[in-house]
Protein backbone atom coordinates (compact mmCIF):
# COMPACT_ATOMS: atom_id res chain seq x y z
CA UNK A 1 0.00 0.00 0.00
CA UNK A 2 0.91 3.66 -0.07
CA UNK A 3 3.64 4.63 2.37
CA UNK A 4 4.70 8.06 3.55
CA UNK A 5 8.03 8.35 5.32
CA UNK A 6 8.49 11.26 7.72
CA UNK A 7 11.79 12.27 9.29
CA UNK A 8 12.97 12.93 11.85
CA UNK A 9 10.63 11.26 14.32
CA UNK A 10 11.96 13.37 17.16
CA UNK A 11 14.01 16.53 17.22
CA UNK A 12 15.18 18.85 19.95
CA UNK A 13 16.47 22.25 18.96
CA UNK A 14 17.53 25.44 20.65
CA UNK A 15 15.33 28.48 20.61
CA UNK A 16 16.07 30.69 17.62
CA UNK A 17 17.29 27.93 15.34
CA UNK A 18 15.51 26.38 12.37
CA UNK A 19 14.36 22.80 11.94
CA UNK A 20 13.47 20.97 8.74
CA UNK A 21 11.02 18.08 8.64
CA UNK A 22 10.86 15.87 5.55
CA UNK A 23 7.95 13.92 4.21
CA UNK A 24 8.45 11.46 1.35
CA UNK A 25 5.96 9.34 -0.54
CA UNK A 26 7.77 6.06 -1.16
CA UNK A 27 5.67 4.19 -3.70
CA UNK A 28 3.37 6.76 -5.25
CA UNK A 29 3.44 10.29 -6.55
CA UNK A 30 1.96 12.71 -4.08
CA UNK A 31 0.33 15.52 -6.00
CA UNK A 32 -0.85 17.14 -2.80
CA UNK A 33 0.63 17.11 0.67
CA UNK A 34 -0.84 18.42 3.88
CA UNK A 35 0.88 19.50 7.07
CA UNK A 36 -0.84 19.20 10.42
CA UNK A 37 -0.02 20.17 13.94
CA UNK A 38 -1.35 18.19 16.89
CA UNK A 39 -1.27 19.31 20.50
CA UNK A 40 -1.43 16.69 23.27
CA UNK A 41 -4.79 14.93 23.45
CA UNK A 42 -6.21 17.14 20.74
CA UNK A 43 -7.22 16.77 17.14
CA UNK A 44 -5.16 17.50 14.07
CA UNK A 45 -5.06 21.10 12.98
CA UNK A 46 -4.34 21.68 9.31
CA UNK A 47 -1.52 24.15 8.83
CA UNK A 48 -1.10 24.22 5.08
CA UNK A 49 -1.70 22.44 1.80
CA UNK A 50 0.98 22.15 -0.85
CA UNK A 51 0.73 21.08 -4.45
CA UNK A 52 3.85 20.03 -6.30
CA UNK A 53 5.52 22.96 -8.03
CA UNK A 54 3.35 25.69 -6.57
CA UNK A 55 3.22 27.78 -3.44
CA UNK A 56 1.61 26.34 -0.36
CA UNK A 57 -1.81 27.46 0.79
CA UNK A 58 -1.76 28.31 4.48
CA UNK A 59 -4.70 28.11 6.84
CA UNK A 60 -5.85 31.24 8.59
CA UNK A 61 -3.68 32.09 11.54
CA UNK A 62 -0.64 30.10 10.40
CA UNK A 63 2.45 32.24 9.89
CA UNK A 64 3.80 31.45 6.44
CA UNK A 65 7.15 33.07 7.21
CA UNK A 66 7.63 30.88 10.25
CA UNK A 67 6.44 27.61 8.73
CA UNK A 68 8.06 27.35 5.31
CA UNK A 69 6.70 24.58 3.11
CA UNK A 70 8.40 23.35 -0.04
CA UNK A 71 6.96 20.74 -2.38
CA UNK A 72 9.60 20.66 -5.09
CA UNK A 73 8.91 17.14 -6.36
CA UNK A 74 6.08 14.65 -6.50
CA UNK A 75 7.67 12.59 -3.74
CA UNK A 76 9.05 15.15 -1.31
CA UNK A 77 7.63 17.94 0.79
CA UNK A 78 9.45 19.74 3.58
CA UNK A 79 8.32 21.86 6.50
CA UNK A 80 10.89 24.23 7.97
CA UNK A 81 10.16 25.81 11.31
CA UNK A 82 12.20 28.99 11.29
CA UNK A 83 13.44 30.81 14.38
CA UNK A 84 11.78 28.21 16.56
CA UNK A 85 10.46 29.12 19.98
CA UNK A 86 9.22 26.93 22.83
CA UNK A 87 5.61 27.57 21.80
CA UNK A 88 6.37 25.85 18.48
CA UNK A 89 6.95 22.62 20.36
CA UNK A 90 4.35 20.19 19.10
CA UNK A 91 3.70 17.05 17.09
CA UNK A 92 3.77 17.67 13.34
CA UNK A 93 2.23 15.21 10.88
CA UNK A 94 2.29 15.18 7.11
CA UNK A 95 -0.25 13.56 4.86
CA UNK A 96 -0.11 12.83 1.17
CA UNK A 97 -2.73 12.25 -1.46
CA UNK A 98 -1.85 10.54 -4.68
CA UNK A 99 -3.50 11.09 -8.00
CA UNK A 100 -6.38 8.76 -7.23
CA UNK A 101 -8.73 9.87 -4.49
CA UNK A 102 -9.85 6.29 -3.97
CA UNK A 103 -6.77 5.60 -1.92
CA UNK A 104 -7.57 8.39 0.47
CA UNK A 105 -4.88 10.04 2.47
CA UNK A 106 -1.71 8.42 3.76
CA UNK A 107 -0.10 9.85 6.87
CA UNK A 108 3.50 10.03 7.94
CA UNK A 109 4.45 8.79 11.38
CA UNK A 110 4.86 12.29 12.75
CA UNK A 111 7.65 14.41 14.20
CA UNK A 112 7.83 15.49 17.81
CA UNK A 113 9.52 18.86 17.96
CA UNK A 114 10.80 20.17 21.26
CA UNK A 115 12.27 23.65 21.37
CA UNK A 116 14.39 24.39 24.45
Partner 1 sequence: AQTVTQSQPEMSVQEAETVTLSCTYDTSESNYYLFWYKQPPSRQMILVIRQEAYKQQNATENRFSVNFQKAAKSFSLKISDSQLGDTAMYFCAFMTPSNFGNEKLTFGTGTRLTIIP
Binding site for partner 1 (CB under 8 A): 31-32, 34, 38, 41-44, 46, 49, 51, 57, 91, 93, 95, 97, 101, 104-107, 109-110
Backbone dihedral region for residue 61 (phi beyond 0: left; psi -120 to 50: alpha; all else: beta): left
Please, what is the minimum distance in Å from the beta carbon of residue 101 to partner 1? 6
Task: Classify residue 52 as exposed, middle or buried by CB count within 10 Å of its CB (0-12, 13-18, 19+).
Answer: middle
Please, what is the minimum distance in Å from the beta carbon of residue 16 to partner 1? 27
User: Which of 34, 67 has the CB closer to partner 1?
Assistant: 34
Please, what is the minimum distance in Å from the beta carbon of residue 67 to partner 1? 16
- The Cα 31–Cα 50 span in angstroms is 8
User: Which of 38, 82 has the CB closer to partner 1?
Assistant: 38
Amino acid sequence: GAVVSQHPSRVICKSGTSVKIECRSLDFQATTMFWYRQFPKQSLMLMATSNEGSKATYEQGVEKDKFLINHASLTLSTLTVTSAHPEDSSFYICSARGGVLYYGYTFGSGTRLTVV
